[in-house]
Structure 1
Amino acid sequence: MPQDDPPDEWSTPERLMWEAFRAGKWCEEAPEVRGAALRHLLIAAPSPRPGCQARLRLRGARVTGELDLAEATVAGSVRLDRCHFDETPRLDNANIDAAFELRDCTMPGLSLAGARIAHECEINACTVNGTVDLRSLTVGNRLSVTGTALHPRDGEAALDAQSVEVGEDFWASDLDCTGALYLNSARIQDVLVLRGTRISGDAGLQAPELTVGGGLFLDNGFSGTGQINLYGASIGGSIRMEDCQLAGPGAGSGAYALNMCAAEVGGDIWSGHGLVVHGPVILNDTSVRGTVFFKGARFDVSSTMPSTDAALSASRLHVGGDFNCQGGFVSHGLIDLRDSRFGGSVLFQGAELTALHGQPALNGNGVETGGALNLCDGFTAHGRISLINVSVRSRVCFDRAALEAPADERALSFIGSTTAILSLRMRKAPAGVVDLRHSKIGLLEDAPVTWPSGIVLDGAVYDSLHPALPARERLPWLGRDPAGFVPQPYEQLAATYQRQGQDADARAVLVARHRSMRRTLSPFARLWSLLQDAAVGYGYRPLRAVWLLLCLLATGTALFSAWPPTAVGEGKVPPFQPAIYTLDLLLPLVELGQERSYAPTGMMQWSVVALIGTGWLLATTVAAGAARVLRRN
């Protein structure tokens, strides 16, 4: 049977606490009680007054000595308000059948390691000059550590909640932690809320393998001056990071500001405006079912990291929706999206990216998107953009963008990539080179006034161009390859004109191809090229041969009419016909009977030699040009 009277040696305040416990009322008349008396009261609890529920409610008391409830079983709820503990309360492996609450209390530490609390556990508005140890704590309902100041000794944790299990929410908002906060392998059924919490120290927030059934809230003034480690975390809902300030611990290997490698997020990563990060952010191998929303965020590794780490490293990231970095997004350091997959679009409208340490401003090599890739509408890159082997189902857009790379570097590398539309109507002409080698593009849009100083088109394939310029206006575009003459871009442009029924423009491009190639030939081959160009336009101007033949025919007819040749041979010769005689000289391998029947004399012999030579040359160039055209067709 429980003892209904307190022990004889108890003080008057302790007796008042005893009676208040039996009535389930607040005890406010006990300015000082012993920790041993509290232990006795909770373990050997007296029976309640009739019609009352026995429970501890103590306000404004100083607890002297140690409160040791380790491995104890407490039947009722425990609520302590504005109490001061001289020594650290210890409830390791305790079993509390109801609720446990500390409000506005001061203590040198608190240990609840391995404890089991059936209902709520609340440690609110307290001041703890040591560590709050919640390792392996199990809470049936809500766990709340809000508005509390945690000031541990140097090198110690402020809040150690490793492997904690919470049946509902875990609220740790508005904390002031001058040490690390540990949530390694914690399991929270609903949401984890750290709104307004401030964490200082290099260790920061350590929560690898964290499991949260709902959302994670790092917003409303949350700040961390150390590492925020969410490696391998599983978040069933969204992560919210509005008005969030993160500062990594400084230089060194692994000195990140936020690490979410290999994490799984069932909702969105949502920052909105106000996310500022000084130090690397790592999202490698992370999966996000919804949208990644970094609109208006600022990432910076320029001052805190004198190394080559990326400001945002998100290689092999999988996002079901959009990757949104528009609306004033700023990065001082590399944005690395290599081999990532996006179900929606990648949006950098209005963003400003600045490269550091010789790295690109944006590395999107191997990216696949189900929507668009927009780097437009005020987008500015101070450094290279690398988009090698990307696949964009919709549109890659650089409209009204500025790519500010040096003239001797690649401003944009869009190599081996595929997209339905590539729009290069930029805000100003890039000084650097735009490299489109071996890319496959449905519609290529550009503007002559913003053509880059150098553009590489070798192996690039496109279905159409906009604007549809005539060949004479489009040809200077092909002459901007830093490597000099490359034949494939001319053939591709000619094929595009042919598909659009612009055969004259196609022929003009092919003629320009041979003229450009002429500069690369030996002197003899260059002379032969000039003859083919003048005679038949490399086979693409066949009417030139007809007109030249007619001019030579008219000239020869006039000459031989004035100075006819002499008949030769025996027997009857055909009547002399100046026009037919001239044709017989001009057309190789054609026998009209005039050339062998008549022989010129005097200076006319040189005319015959000139006509025969011209005929052979004309026939050879026509045959070469015709063969070239036939091979192409």
Structure 2
Amino acid sequence: MEIDDLTPAEARVWRAFPRGELVDFRTADDEDPAEGADWGPERTVRASVLRTLLLDGPRENGEIPSLDLSGARITGSLRLQYAAVEVPVRLKNCHVEQVPRLYGCRLRELNLSESVLPGLVAHAVRVDGVLRMTRTRCHGTVRLAGAEIAGSLYLEGARFHAAPDTEGPVLQLNQAVLRADLWAPGLRTHGTTRLTGAGVAGQVNLRDAVLDAGGGTALDAQNLVVGTNVTAGCLRARGLLDLRGARVPGTLDLAHASLSRPGDVALRATSSVIGELWLFAGERIEGALRLRRARIDSLSLDPEMLPDEVYLNDLSYTALVPHHPAERRLPMLERDGDGYVPYAYEQLTAAYRRTGDDDAARRVQLAKQRRHRRTLPWYGRAWGCLQDVTVGYGFRPMRALAWLLTLLAIGSAAFGLEHPAALKPSEAPPFNPVFYTLDLLLPIISFGQETAFAPRAGYQWLAYLLTVTGWVLATTVVTGVTRTVSRQ
């Protein structure tokens, strides 16, 4: 392209390029690039001119060239597929009329901050520095699948809103590789954000972000691998947060978050490996919570955030914080959509034992037996009720002593008022109502009273009752103690 073909605005950009100087067409600092369609020729630059500059622009000895443009209206399509651009590209506060196409392109640096675009096609792009889209607004899809960025990707305050009939996610970062951070606090998306299989060496920051996908998938981050943390405090997500198979060695921070997908799954982190998961101080989750097969070192879970339906089968965690009484933690196990899950009770028991709260651990185990009882046939439920009432399935051993003392008092009082007759008066020992009652209650120990005396009439039925009750009580005690010992 010859210099004579350039408009005055383009000539200004052409002259500034070899020296890397900023060309700022703005007339005010607060002007809105969304109104750039009305900007005149005095600030309009053709994309073809920019392409020529980037691929074969003029150079000056001792100067570092770059394309540094602000407040311009860019017409036409900037096509740089498979190109190698050796200079930084900064198109800030610009109004871009057609979708830039950077598929397979290699760039030194790309800055589209505060610009307005109809979208971006940059699959498999390679950026040797950083890619900035700070407060960028796109009313189409941003395609960065397979991108490789040596620095960070900055999306803070960006707005991505695709048309209702647009196919695919509004922000595509699947299989992308970021050598530093994904920095996107305050990001706003309308549609799906896809991070499937992406690798971020640093952290992912989605604090204060709003991800709105209606009833679809707000964040698809399956198999995401992060070097440190995922910070998503105060996140507002309308749709599914899918973190299946994700690897987050640090913290997955969802504190103060609002997750909503009524009638379906709101948060799924099945088969994920997470250092710390923070789910507290936020609104109650609307939708199901799935943590099946997840491995979490520290689970910070606020009972008030839990939805009506959870899936915790094979979830393992080392610590459950903050410390709450067992009565506040047990309802989440009752809500498990998989029904009775023994492993979930064992995990909660182990968490309490690690903190030294043995009483809470016993309460969880008792709740487990009661929950299991509801899955048994009628005769199993009957036997379970008997164990529960008598000795609390072995977790309330003092109940057995209370029952023995109560029955001993009843029997001693009854037989103390009406002594049973001796079978052999000349050989019978002196009658003792307390030891006689103990003989009836304890099936193994004998004090010689039961064999020497025989009650009559109603007292005989009382003796039968005490004997049967003693056997039942002894059996339940042995069953409970055996269960406790085997668990230890």
TM-score by length of 1: 0.66
Q: Is the 8 A contact 1:180 1:200 kept in 2?
A: no
2:422 equivalent to 1:567:
yes
Unpaired segments of 5 or more residues in structure 2?
24-41
AA aligned to 1:372 is: N
Per mean C-alpha deviation after superposition, the further-off stretch among 206-215 and 573-582 is 573-582
1:371 aligned to which of 222, 228, 231: 228
Instruction: Read off the aligned partner of 1:319 and give its amino acid letter.
Output: L
In structure 2, how many angstroms separate the alpha carbons of the residues matched to 1:180 and 1:594? Answer: 114
Of the three residues 285, 300, 316, the one matched with 1:461 is 316
Cα distance in structure 2, aligned partners of 1:200 and 1:295? 26
Deviation at 1:307, TM superposition (A): 4.1
Q: Which residue of 1 aligns with 2:243?
A: 387
Compared with structure 1, are the counterparts of its residues 104 and 209 closer, same or farther at alpha carbon in structure 2 (3 Å cutoff)? closer
Q: Match of 1:195?
A: 69
228, 244, 250: which one pairs with 2:115? 244
Asked if structure 1 preserves the Cα contact closer than 8 Å seen for 2:74 and 2:94, the reply is no
Q: Using the alignment, how far apart are the partners of 2:56 and 2:373 within structure 1? A: 73
Q: CA deviation at 1:395?
A: 1.0
Indicate conservation of the 8 Å contact 2:254/2:279, yes or no. Answer: yes
Aligned equivalents of 1:104, 1:214: Cα separation in 2: 23
- Give the direction of change, closer, same or farther, for the CA distance of 1:364–1:105 in structure 2 (3 Å limit): closer
Q: How far apart are residue 445 of structure 1 and its match?
A: 2.1
| 3-state SS, counterpart of residue 320 of structure 2 | strand
- Counterpart of 2:219 (choices 362, 367, 370) is 362
Q: CA deviation at 1:503?
A: 1.0
C-alpha contact 2:67 2:87 (8 A) present in aligned 1: no
Match of 1:210 among 77, 83, 96: 83
In 1: Cα distance, 2:291 partner to 2:426 partner: 73
CA contact (8 A) 1:340 1:368 kept: yes
Q: Which amino acid aligns with 1:221?
A: C
* Cα drift, residue 268 of structure 1: 0.9
Instruction: For residue 274 of structure 2, give the secondary structure of its aligned residue in structure 1.
Output: strand
Q: 2:401 aligns with which of 523, 540, 546?
A: 546
Q: Which residue of 1 is the match for residue 435 of structure 2?
A: 580
Structure 2 residue matching 1:630: 3-state secondary structure: helix
Q: Distance in 2 between matches of 1:547 and 1:352?
A: 59
1:519 to 354, 357, 374: 374
Hey, what does 1:346 align to over in structure 2?
Answer: 204
The 5 Å alignment of 1:387-406 reads 387-406=243-262
Q: Greater RCO between the two (CA within 8 Å, min separation 6)?
A: 2
Aligned equivalent of 2:468? 613
Q: What pairs with 1:103-252 in structure 2 (closer than 5 Å)?
A: 103=4, 124=11, 176-177=45-46, 193=67, 195=69, 198-200=73-75, 204-221=77-94, 223-226=96-99, 228-235=100-107, 237-247=108-118
Structure 1, gaps ≥5 residues long: 1-88, 90-100, 107-122, 127-140, 148-172, 248-256
Give the 5 Å matches for 1:59-98.
none
**1:570/1:554 Cα in 2 relative to 1: closer, same or farther (>3 Å)?**
closer
TM-score norm. by structure 2 comes to 0.85
Identity between Structure 1 and Structure 2 (%): 33
Q: Is the 8 A contact 1:187 1:212 kept in 2?
A: no
* Alignment CA distance shift 1:522-1:324 (3 Å): same
Letter in 1 for 2:69: R
1:515-537 Cα offsets, whole Å, 9 max, x none, are 23333332222221111111111
Q: Which has the larger radius of gyration?
A: 1
**Contact map agreement 1:103 1:125 (CA 8 A) in 2:** no
Count of paired positions: 459
SS across alignment from 1:195: strand
SS for the counterpart of 1:302 is coil
Structure 2 distance, partners of 1:621, 1:332, is 61
Q: 1:314 aligns with which of 156, 173, 177?
A: 173
| Comparing 534-543 and 579-588, the one that deviates more | 579-588
Partner Cα separation in structure 1 for residue 201 and residue 12 of structure 2: 44
Residues 569/214 of structure 1: CA separation in 2 closer, same or farther (3 Å cut): farther
Distance in 1, Cα, partners of 2:5 & 2:143? 38
SS of equivalent residue, structure 1 residue 412: strand
1:178-237 CA-partner distances (Å, limit 9, x unpaired) = 879878x95899766273565545xx22222221234233334151423x22222222x3
